[in-house]
Amino acid sequence: MKELLSERGEVETAPRGALHTFALLLAIPLFIGALTTLIQLLAINPYPEMTRGERLDSAEMCLQHADAQEPDCQDFTPVTLPHVTTLERDTTVVGAHYRLTFDRPASDDLQAFVAPRVTDHARIEVNGIRMSPNSEPDGPLWHDWNRPIYGALPEPVLRPGGNRIDITLTQSDIGRLALYPVYVGEADAIRLTWLSRFAFRTGMVRMNIGLAAILGGAFFALWRMNRRGQGLGWLPLAMAGATIFGWQLAYPNMTPPGSWWRFASILSMHGTAYCLYMFLRDFFQERSRLAFIAVHATMAVGLAILLAGQPVAGISATGASFIGVAIAIICILWILITTPLIARADRIALVLLFGLSASCAVTAWLDSFLVRQVVRLPLGQVAVTLLFAGISWTLVQWLVEIKRQRDRLSESLRDQVRAKSAELDEMYRALGRQKEKQVVAQERQRIMLDLHDGIGGQLVNTLAYLENSGRDDPVLRNALEDALGDMALMIDSLHSDLEISAALGMIRNRLEPLLDRHHARFEWKVEGDPRFDVPTRSNVLGMMRIVQEAITNAVKHSGADVITVQTGERDIWITDNGQGFDQDVEADRHPSESGLGLKGMRQRSSDIGISLEIDTSDKGTSVHLFW
């Protein structure tokens, strides 16, 4: 994550990156403006004609002044609805009186009227009879600017022919007086219109309040569970600001009295935008000082304008104070566009959600603070819903990524566990093999000691007795010497580590006393390390028996005084300079007469899978083992 951020930082510091950033920041307002225009072009007509009623969009209007005596409306001016009157600080206008006329319908069904949108307090009379609730002359003003007004028109109220509706709008503070088209018709159709407008305006705002409260609690719990970064602590504050501002819109008549609450509601809207920017800045680890300074500076300027209460460029102080909110929205979209921490498809979805939310908020701002009526359908309440959707989408993507990381970590841990388990199994097998080798080595040591101290000692004592008794028996002596040599070879094979060169060295040490007694010597040409295809102990022992038999036969029967042992990579030569022998006669001789015998040597070589060639003449004998 840090590497991605550092790479992005390097691009921004380059001249080309700075130009790209400036172009992107310039494109964001154009993008919001294009979305706003598209929304208004695609928006349905908010005041369509009715088949079972009449739309009244023409009226007569006169302004009421604070220093005039009642009634002061004598000169009415024709106007077209919607009609807006802006109240400034230096004006004495406190109200606007509208007069609308309609003909009594021929239907006998119950008639009703609905004023879908009025601003601010509305006093409605039909043919001189007061029809609007909460409009006592001496009571507090009832705010009607965010809910449609519905009223039934019973039979006694209506006159044959022409009828008149008088609507008097008053404002408790500096702001706007606005009247939009009024509908008169059958009560069922009018009530349906009233319900749809109430659901779209007041109902959606109240739904947003509930969502803000629920999401605020959820975000607070999420922040308590994870306080290490991600900026989650800003979200409960943003939801608190949205709740305060939404309460002012949904329940204007249930707010504390005084202008301070209105100021607090506007301030909460600024706080919501600021907290949302800080959340996304920390969440996506965006560290642009320019954007950070711009948001704080414009927020401070906007609050100063709000406190001063002076209009700026023909826009009221409240409307001009939203400059900080606008810059925060631009920086929010910039963060979403440039962050590398989420996939491109998710970035596009988030940019569209937040962009649509900003565009809907722009429609509400234009409708509230511009003198001329340029917005067909203000969608401020939709902006808040889209904002909640964008925040929720961001956190859902974060949770999905956390789940993916957890799954990858779990899979990695499972792989490590499997690898470690395999290592442990191999270790246990190795320990088992090591223990088995130790047992075999101990058993081998015991056998060697038994052979050496038992049978070996008996053979040595027998041979010593034969020499000391004065009764020399050559056959018995040879048999004892062969038995001692064979036992020595067996003991050496138990010591051997299956290397042929080491086994040959042990044979040399064992047989040199025999050569000394017969006045012979070795010519040793064992070089390198011959390798056997299947180097088992039994195979090496069988090979060494053949070598031992060849050497002892040369010493005892050929009269040779030089015995040569030579090795190659895959063969062994045993040659002597003796008198040789007749192979046919020797092959027919019983092994008990001359040791192992040629038949036994050939059989053993065949058993262990090697080849044996014997070449003999009066100049000596050559035994060749190869494989």
Alpha carbon of residue 73 to chain centroid: 68
Q: For residue 387, what pLDDT is reported?
A: 93
In a domain, 472, yes or no: no
Average pLDDT rounded to a whole number, residues 309-332 = 89
Please give the residue range of the domain that contains residue 93: 53-195
User: Cα angle at 583 between 577 and 585, to 5 degrees?
Assistant: 120
Average pLDDT rounded to a whole number, residues 475-484 = 73
In a domain, 132, yes or no: yes
Please state the domain count of the chain: 3
* Structural Rg of the chain based on CA atoms: 55
Using one digit for the tens of pLDDT, what is the confidence trace for 197-243? Answer: 999 989 999 999 999 999 999 999 989 887 776 789 999 999 999 99
Q: Do 343 and 243 fall within a single domain?
A: yes
149 vs 375, residue with greater confidence: 149
Residue 351 has pLDDT above 90, yes or no: yes
Q: For residue 371, what pLDDT is reported?
A: 65
Q: For residue 343, what pLDDT is reported?
A: 81
Residue 511 has pLDDT above 90, yes or no: no
Q: For residue 14, what pLDDT is reported?
A: 37
Q: For residue 5, what pLDDT is reported?
A: 36
In a domain, 471, yes or no: no
Buried b (16+ CB within 10 A) or exposed e, 565-575: bebeeeebbbb
Is the Cβ–Cβ distance between 612 and 596 less than 8 Å?
no
In a domain, 255, yes or no: yes
Average pLDDT rounded to a whole number, residues 374-383 = 87
Q: For residue 523, what pLDDT is reported?
A: 92
Least Cα distance to 547 among 508, 513, 520 occurs for 508
Per-residue pLDDT band at 10 (split at 50, 70, 90): very low
Q: For residue 308, what pLDDT is reported?
A: 87
Q: Do 216 and 162 fall within a single domain?
A: no
Residue 280 has pLDDT above 70, yes or no: yes
Per-residue pLDDT band at 456 (split at 50, 70, 90): low
In a domain, 436, yes or no: no
Q: For residue 503, what pLDDT is reported?
A: 82
CA distances for 489 relative to 186, 255, 497, 509, angstroms? 124, 111, 14, 11
SS3 of 597-611: the string is HHHHHHHHHHHHCCE
Is the Cβ–Cβ distance between 409 and 233 less than 8 Å?
no
Q: For residue 9, what pLDDT is reported?
A: 38
Average pLDDT rounded to a whole number, residues 550-558 = 86
- Is the four-CA dihedral 324, 325, 330, 332 of positive or negative sign? positive
Q: For residue 303, what pLDDT is reported?
A: 93
Residue 3 has pLDDT above 80, yes or no: no
Q: For residue 143, what pLDDT is reported?
A: 80
Q: Do 261 and 370 fall within a single domain?
A: yes
Using one digit for the tens of pLDDT, what is the confidence trace for 44-57? Answer: 888 888 888 999 99
Backbone dihedral angles phi then psi of residue 510, each to the nearest 5 degrees: -70, -35
Q: For residue 12, what pLDDT is reported?
A: 37
Q: Do 27 and 75 fall within a single domain?
A: no
Average pLDDT rounded to a whole number, residues 568-593 = 77
Per-residue pLDDT band at 27 (split at 50, 70, 90): very high
> Domain boundary residue among 146, 169, 195?
195
Per-residue pLDDT band at 540 (split at 50, 70, 90): confident
Residue 591 has pLDDT above 70, yes or no: no
> Domain boundary residue among 400, 435, 463?
400
Q: Do 230 and 102 fall within a single domain?
A: no
Residue 561 has pLDDT above 50, yes or no: yes
List the single range of 69-73, 98-102, 190-194, 307-311 with lowest mean pLDDT: 69-73
In a domain, 469, yes or no: no
Q: Do 158 and 306 fall within a single domain?
A: no
Q: Do 225 and 372 fall within a single domain?
A: yes
- Letter for the amino acid at 537? R
What is the DSSP pairing of strand 53-56 with strand 149-153?
A: unpaired
Q: Do 172 and 211 fall within a single domain?
A: no
Is the Cβ–Cβ distance between 522 and 508 less than 8 Å?
yes
Residue 2 has pLDDT above 60, yes or no: no
Cα–Cα dist 328/275, whole Å: 9
H and E: helices and strands count for the chain = 17, 18
Average pLDDT rounded to a whole number, residues 601-614 = 89
In a domain, 320, yes or no: yes
Average pLDDT rounded to a whole number, residues 507-512 = 84
Domain holding 602: CATH number? Answer: 3.30.565.10
Beta bridge partners of 167: 98, 124
Q: Do 165 and 35 fall within a single domain?
A: no
Domain holding 128: CATH number? Answer: 2.60.120.260
Residue 314 has pLDDT above 50, yes or no: yes
Q: Do 16 and 75 fall within a single domain?
A: no
Q: Do 12 and 67 fall within a single domain?
A: no
Q: Do 102 and 19 fall within a single domain?
A: no
> Domain boundary residue among 168, 195, 222?
195
Using one digit for the tens of pLDDT, what is the confidence trace for 145-166? Answer: 778 999 999 988 999 889 999 9
Least Cα distance to 241 among 218, 214, 219, 209 occurs for 209
In a domain, 418, yes or no: no
